Amino acid sequence: MIEYLVCAAAFGLLLLGIHRKVIARIQMRPGPPVWQEILHALKFSFKSTWVPRTASATLFVGIVLVAIAIWSAALFVVLAGESILILIGIYMLHKIVEHGFGLSSGSPYGKFGGVRSVISAASEIPLFVTITAIYFFTGSLLLRDIVAYQAVHGPLLLIVPPAAIAMYLVILSKLPFGPFSIVESKEIVSGYKTEHFGVWRAALAVTDGLKTFVLLYAFVLIFLGALPFWLILALMTAVLVSLSFVCAITPVLSPYDSVTVQSIITGLMLAYIGYLWWVVP
Amino acid sequence: MAMKRKTVEYGLTASALIIVIAWIALTTGAIPLWAAEAVFVVAFPALVLTLGLWWRAGGGEEDFPFIGY
Amino acid sequence: MLSIGGQDLFVLEFGDILHYFSPYTLTLFLLAVLFTGLAIISRPEEQIEIAFGGDAYYAKETTLPEMRFRRFMAIACGLASIGAMVSGDLFNYTLFTSMVGITNVGIVAAVKNRHVLNAAYAYGIVAMIATLPLFGSAALIVATTGTLSIPALAAGGQAVPLVGKALLVLGVVGEGMAPFYAAKAEMFRAPGAPYVIMCSLSSLLIFLRVVEIVTTI
Amino acid sequence: MIVSRISRFISDYQNLVALFAGACILISLFGILSLPLAYEENQIYPKAIDRTSALDPYDRGGTPFNTTTVVAQYPENSPYLGYVTAYLTPLSKYLADHTLHAGTTIVSHPGGIIDEILYNTRGLDTVVETSILLSAFAIASYLFRRTE
């Protein structure tokens, strides 16, 4: 099991490296090598590390542990085929982790990152709408049931395409450099990550790797169903590259606009659910 | 805040030991899967942090840090 | 009995009020416990403020009485969300939720910052209004189905009116989520990270739980 | 842009109350439209108020210090269902057994005026209700006593 964690984190970091590379190439820059994010994680773990004097020490360190722990748990939830509600819960609680990172240091940049993550929390309700749409068809939220449903009826991507789009947007909002990445956008240095340097940052990189892996893996499992493992990895990469295209050609929205756009998407999804409720007996 | 090498070493050894024990127990079937997963969720973050800290933790006889340009 | 959050692990009984632990509620429960623990053991940070347009900066200190009160409120908030996470009774859940709303205001009430207090005031008003749909939904559901127990409602047999569910969600949104967008952002200007985090944590948790409840009943 | 106008409106917390009230109105309208809702006759904790009783608002029938019929959701979890006295403290129980000074639990007991039938089955509700009051009072008194 521990090997899954390590491999998932490494592969997730590799995906983030590919993400950066693709964006760079679209913008006609050479870009860093694809394994740059893995190197980053290692590099940061060798740096000397302490806790800033102004920080709330326990929270400053504790939140790093919590961050890795919740995404490790998320990976196990996905692997075990448990309820995707748990996965979504962990996803939402990643917001709390962002607050914790941002606020615990006392730095104004971190604080702005934390405040922005509060703002954007309300806009991530498309996730729940996605869930409801899936529940309409599968009648269960256990991942293994969803996969079993797709083995019979074909991929959910073709059955509920709007739900797939909503979850795609949600993953987009978690990727760096995207239109909704207001939490760590560059005008506030690195947002909530600003004050976590050295080993803390390395641990944060591990979290990012796990998070990217879990979200993309869950996306493929939920909307395409059980496939050979190599094909799943290939599809994850394909989804990520498509996301990178979106990130490369869109500007970062201003914080409140980002939330408004996401809320409008939620509204559209709710209308779609209403339509489903009307049509499907 | 100074990092004590001993503390970090203890933490690293403890978390690594716990993970190895849980792993062995899982492969021999002594504990169910969920228990092993719970142990990993708790011990893996500690392992990541202490491993990183251990690489750089001072032993008490360091040089002066370079603070000026 | 429920399949949405995974199989039930065990059920804790308090008379007619059951607390059930499924993988989902257990996860939320553990997170609430964890962050309550963090709020208990960590000291507040010293927030750095930059005077705009110059090089000056200063650190805000949190005084001891203020810290004590806010920690007390954060712990109360944590306990309320712990209760709300596992409660298997609709009325009990709404009670815990309204307690979350009140303690959220309490967490920032001690801060001496005009913006923070104004935002907390707006939030307090919404939280107060929100108790009407919140308890109203519980009353509506008990009147139309004759029971308040979530497992009993989930077992089927009674048709829970859609408006009851809608009011429940609206109430929870008012207690925690609606102020998230604007008021909470202002409230997060307050120093004292471990306590302020409890505000958003509890709101997210009660919201995550209500999704499970309305899908189940 | 319409998006930025919307964001400007909802980013101001002064508009929060208006927004929420609007949502309440919408859902209430929906509720009124979905009337009539059926009333379930088979309720838990049924009430029969006896206006002539000396204990009027609190009289739930049955004999004091004896059982009362209560329809509970899970009677198997409440072995003392209907025995109001079961929740007396040892001291109050002693008083109730030997004198007439401790009556039913209605007002003679810490916890105040609490519906004693619910007291047997829904103890946690009582605790949470009083905790809400406690936290509200704590906030109010802290703000009142705070020195500038």
Q: Does D84 have pLDDT greater than 60?
A: no
Comparison of pLDDT for D146 and C122, the residue scoring more:
C122
Position A63 pLDDT exceeds 70:
yes
- B45–A76 CB contact, under 8 Å: no
* Residue B69 scores a pLDDT above 50: no
Nearest CA in chain C to A114: C188
Residues written for chain C: 217
Residues A110, A113, A118, A124: is their CA dihedral positive or negative?
negative
Mean pLDDT of C49-53: 71
Cβ contact C27–A96 (<8 Å): no
Query: With 70 as the cut, is the pLDDT of residue A154 above it?
Result: yes
Query: Which has the higher per-residue pLDDT, D105 or A112?
Result: A112
Residue D118 pLDDT level (bands cut at 50, 70, 90): low
φ, ψ dihedrals at A51, nearest 5°: -110, 130
Instruction: Go through C158-187 and write b for each residue having 16 or more CB atoms within 10 A of its CB, e for each that does not.
Output: bebbebbbbbbbbbbbbbbbbbbbbbbbbb
Minimum CA–CA partner of D6 in chain A: A260
**D10 and C CB contact within 8 Å:** yes
| Burial class of D47 by CB neighbour count within 10 A (0 to 12, 13 to 18, 19+) | exposed
Query: In the prediction, which pLDDT does A172 show?
Result: 85
User: For residue A213, what pLDDT is reported?
Assistant: 92
Chains C and A touch (3+ CB pairs under 8 A): yes
Domain assignment present for C3:
no
Q: Which residue has the higher pLDDT, C2 or D147?
A: D147
Q: What is the pLDDT of residue D89?
A: 60
D147 within some domain: no
Domain limits for position D25: 2-33
Q: Which residues contact A218 (CB under 8 A, 6 or more apart)?
A: A78, A84, A87, A143
Q: Compare A1 and A25 and report the one with higher pLDDT.
A: A25
Under an 8 A CB cutoff, do C5 and A85 touch?
yes
**Neighboring chain A residues of C4 at a CB cutoff of 8 Å:** 83, 85, 135, 140-141
Using a CB–CB cut-off of 8 Å, the residues of D that contact A are 3-4, 6-8, 10-11
How far D1 CA sits from the closest chain C CA (Å)?
Answer: 20
Q: Does A78 touch chain B (CB under 8 A)?
A: no
Interface of A with C in 81-110 (CB under 8 A): 82-83, 85-86, 88-90, 92-93, 95-96, 99-100, 103-108
Q: Do D126 and D60 belong to one domain? A: yes
Chains adjacent to D (≥3 CB pairs closer than 8 angstroms)? A, C
What is the residue extent of each domain of chain A? Answer: 2-279
Q: Which residues pair with C59 in a beta bridge?
A: C48
**Rounded CA separation D121/D82 (Å):** 9
Q: Is B23 on the interface with A (CB under 8 A)?
A: yes
Nearest to A206 by CA among A89, A103, A72, A73: A72
- Residue C174 touches chain D, beta carbons under 8 Å: yes
Residue C59's SS3 state is strand
Chain B neighbours, 3+ Cβ pairs < 8 A:
A
Is a pLDDT exceeding 60 seen at residue D128? Answer: yes
Kindly tell me if the per-residue pLDDT of C182 is higher than 70: no
Q: Report the alpha-carbon distance of residue A159 to residue A74 in Å, rounded.
A: 26
- Shortest CA distance from D78: residue in chain C: C15
D27 and D90 share a domain?
no
Is C193 in Cβ contact with A73 (below 8 Å)?
no
Residue D110 has a pLDDT of 42
Average pLDDT over residues A157-173: 83
> D138-147 pLDDT, tens per residue?
888 888 887 6
Residues C164, D60, C140: CA angle, nearest 5 degrees: 5
pLDDT confidence band for D113 (50 / 70 / 90): very low
pLDDT in tens, C126-176: 888 888 899 889 888 888 888 888 888 887 767 788 888 889 988 988 887
Q: Cβ D135–C14 below 8 Å, yes or no?
A: no
Question: How close B52 comes to chain A (CA, Å)?
Answer: 5
The average confidence (pLDDT) of chain C is: 82
- Among A16-20, A75-79, C152-156, D98-102, the range scoring the smallest mean pLDDT is D98-102
Total number of domains constituting chain C: 1
pLDDT of residue D62: 59
Quick one: pLDDT at residue A36?
Answer: 87
Cα distance between residue D128 and residue D110, in whole Å: 15
Q: Does C114 touch chain D (CB under 8 A)?
A: no
Q: Is residue D6 part of a domain?
A: yes
3-class secondary-structure state, position C47? strand
Chosen for mutation from C200, C207, C209 (greatest number of chain A CBs closer than 10 Å) is C200
Interchain CB distance below 8 Å, A257 and D4: yes
Q: Averaged over A9-13, what is the pLDDT?
A: 90
Report if residue C64 sits inside a domain: yes
Quick one: average pLDDT of C34-40?
A: 89
> How confident is the model over A126-152, as a mean pLDDT?
80
Answer yes or no: do C129 and D17 touch at CB < 8 A.
yes
Q: Is D73's pLDDT higher than 50?
A: yes
Chain D residue at shortest CA distance from A261:
D3
**CA distance linking residue B38 with residue D80, whole number of Å:** 39
> Scanning every residue of chain A, which has its alpha carbon at the shortest distance from the alpha carbon of C23?
A86
pLDDT at C77 exceeding the cut of 60: yes
Q: Do D16 and C183 touch (CB under 8 A)?
A: yes
Indicate contact of D with C: 3+ CB pairs under 8 A.
yes
D147 touching chain C per CB within 8 A: no
Per-residue model confidence (pLDDT) at position D107: 45
Does the beta-carbon distance from A72 to B33 stay under 8 Å?
Answer: no
Q: How many CB atoms within 10 Å of residue B66?
A: 6
Q: Is D55 on the interface with C (CB under 8 A)?
A: no
Q: What residues of C are in contact with residue A56 (Cβ under 8 Å)?
A: 42-45, 193-194
Same domain, D26 and D60: no
Q: Does C9 touch chain A (CB under 8 A)?
A: no
Tell me which of A238 and A198 has the higher pLDDT: A238
Chain C within 8 Å of A122 (Cβ-Cβ)? yes
- Residue C149 belongs to domain spanning: 10-216
pLDDT at A135: 81
Q: How far apart are CA C198 and CA C204, in angstroms?
A: 10
Among C16, C148, C162, C187, the strongest candidate for a mutation testing the D interface, having the largest count of D CBs within 10 A, is C16
Residue ranges in C87-216 assigned as alpha helix (H): 90-109, 114-145, 150-154, 162-172, 178-181, 183-187, 193-216
Counting residues of chain A whose pLDDT is more than 90, the rounded percentage is 8
Alpha helices in B1-32 (DSSP H): 5-27
Are both D78 and D28 inside the same structural domain? no
Residue C122 resides in a domain: yes
Q: What is the model's pLDDT at position D71?
A: 75
Q: What is the pLDDT of residues B31-65, one digit of tens each?
A: 887 888 888 888 888 888 888 787 776 555 555 55
Containing A167, the helix (H) or strand (E) segment is helix A161-174
State the total domains in chain D. 2
pLDDT at D106: 46
- From chain B, pick out residues whose CB is under 8 angstroms from the CB of A45: 51-52, 55
Does D58 have pLDDT greater than 70? no
Q: Are residues D62 and D29 in the same domain?
A: no
Q: Is the CB of residue A144 less than 8 Å away from at least one CB of chain C?
A: no
Are residue D63 and residue D129 in the same domain, yes or no? yes
Q: What was the pLDDT predicted at B1? A: 43
